[in-house]
Amino acid sequence: MSRMKDIINAMRSPANMVDPSLRGYSPVVQGKDIMSASGAYCLVFPLKGKYDSKPSRCLRLWYTSDRDMGGIVSEAEKLASLLPDPSVPQMGRMRFIREALRLPDEGEVIPGLEMPFLNRSLDYLLCSEDKPNSYEYSLLASNMMNLSSAMKESGISHGDLSPANVMVGPDLSLTLIDFDFLLWPSKGIRCPRQILGAADYNRPDRVESPRSLADDHLAEQLIHLNLLAFSKDPSLNSAENMGEATFFDSSDLVSPSAFRASEGYRFLRGMGDSEVSHYLDRLLEAMECPYGKIPALCDLAYVPTPRRRFFSPMIPAPYCHECGRAMRKADWIYCPHCGTPRRMIPSEAV
């Protein structure tokens, strides 16, 4: 905690930001404090320019030593050199700064990551008073599917996927943040540490499983199903809901039987929507299989069952389509009044 305080105190003076690219920027002041957000190992500070009304950048600083974090800072430097990557636009961009902030009390200069400032997380959006409408929920669900596809095609596991680590742009595009547990084998980025992640989006037995590219798949499915259900009926995520906007919590994910018995499962099943039921069935299957075998969301695309068309049998028309007079006998081939050939029509038209 003392290290966190040292970083916050140092950030109060913009002169302590060492890197030349940060000159002219300062943290956002809120009353007597400066705006920041904390994670498991880091602090994030929004930054704005001297003449800016809103922050445009943010600086991410670790308050835990790289040794204690298992080399996370070294992996972050490697990742920053790879981004942006056009194959995974949802990972955004970042710049590693070897000497970012001077801690005057310790006489030390610590590294950091500089990134574009994104104003709202998916978690914040779902729990705010100004909630999305049906179309916006549907677009967010579609973008979640695209995120899953991009991650699978690139062979990436975020490692800590939850609505809190997904930022939402003005156009409802999605951008991932917090890559401390990223697994990207093809690029040589391998965080070996297994974590539980957000408890409401992971089974508790995840910590017993080795790291794999399937670590995010359950979270992908849960986030998508929430968004999909809200798109069908936005009132399900009511204005009074200021907490976790999800149909399931950690107690529902302890076992398949707990999942089936949960209030969320029963409610979603009771919606009677074939698309919601499809993804609910896939979630149940995910609860029953080994963690490393859970399929990615993008592999579970819903394909609507085409409506079966029924054709009525054709029968002789009971009237002449030319003169309109009745044709009372079934064996009449021509109209006895005008001689026009008799037509065949569907029986349902009679």
> Where residue 93 sits, what CATH number does that domain have?
3.30.200
Shared domain for 109 and 162, answered yes or no, is no
The Cα–Cα gap between 293 and 141 comes to 23
Q: Are residues 186 and 235 in the same domain?
A: yes
Q: Closest Cα to residue 63, out of 139, 112, 4, 107?
A: 4
Backbone angles phi, psi at 75, to 5 degrees: -65, -35
Do residues 77 and 137 share a domain?
A: no
The amino acid at residue 20 is: P
pLDDT at 339 over 90: no
**Do β-strands 108-116 and 57-62 pair in parallel, antiparallel, or remain unpaired?**
antiparallel
Asked if 115 and 57 count as a contact pair (C-beta separation under 8 A), the reply is: yes
Q: Indicate if 105 and 192 belong to the same structural domain.
A: no
| 156 closest CA partner among 80, 194, 212, 198 | 212
Region 100-118: mean pLDDT is 90
**Sequence-distant contacts of 50-58: CB under 8 A, at least 24 apart:** 50/24, 50/25, 50/26, 55/28, 55/117, 56/116, 56/117, 57/25, 57/114, 57/115, 57/116, 57/117, 58/114, 58/115, 58/116, 58/117
Give the pLDDT of residue 245. 75
Q: What is the pLDDT of residue 337?
A: 83
pLDDT on residue 242 = 43
Give the domain extent around 46. 2-116
Q: Is 148 found in the same domain as 291?
A: yes
pLDDT value at residue 308: 59
In a domain, 48, yes or no: yes
How many structural domains comprise the chain?
A: 3
CATH number of the domain where residue 147 is located: 1.10.510.10
Quick one: tokens of 321? 């389509």
Based on the domain organization, do 190 and 208 belong to the same domain? yes
Examine the domain organization and report whether 324 and 274 are in the same domain: no
- Mean per-residue pLDDT over the chain, rounded: 88
In a domain, 305, yes or no: no
Alpha helix segments (H runs only) across 179-290: 217-232, 256-261, 263-270, 274-288
**Whether residue 126 sits in one domain with residue 89:** no
Asked if 133 and 238 sit in the same domain, the reply is yes
Residues 190 and 271 in one domain: yes
Q: Kindly state the tokens that stand for 192.
A: 């070996």
CA 201, CA 346: separation in Å to the nearest integer? 55
Per the CB < 8 A criterion, the answer to whether 103 and 111 are in contact is no
- CB contact at 8 A, 101 and 112: yes
| Tens-place pLDDT, residues 222-268 | 999 999 999 999 988 875 544 457 899 999 999 999 999 999 999 99
* H or E, element range at 5: helix 2-11
Q: Same structural domain for residues 112 and 156?
A: no
- Give the rounded percent of residues in the chain with a pLDDT score beyond 90: 56
Relative orientation angle of helices 274-288 and 263-270, to the nearest 10 degrees: 150
Q: Report the distance separating Cα 299 and Cα 84, nearest Å.
A: 25
Average pLDDT over residues 182-194: 83
Residues 131 and 279 in one domain: yes
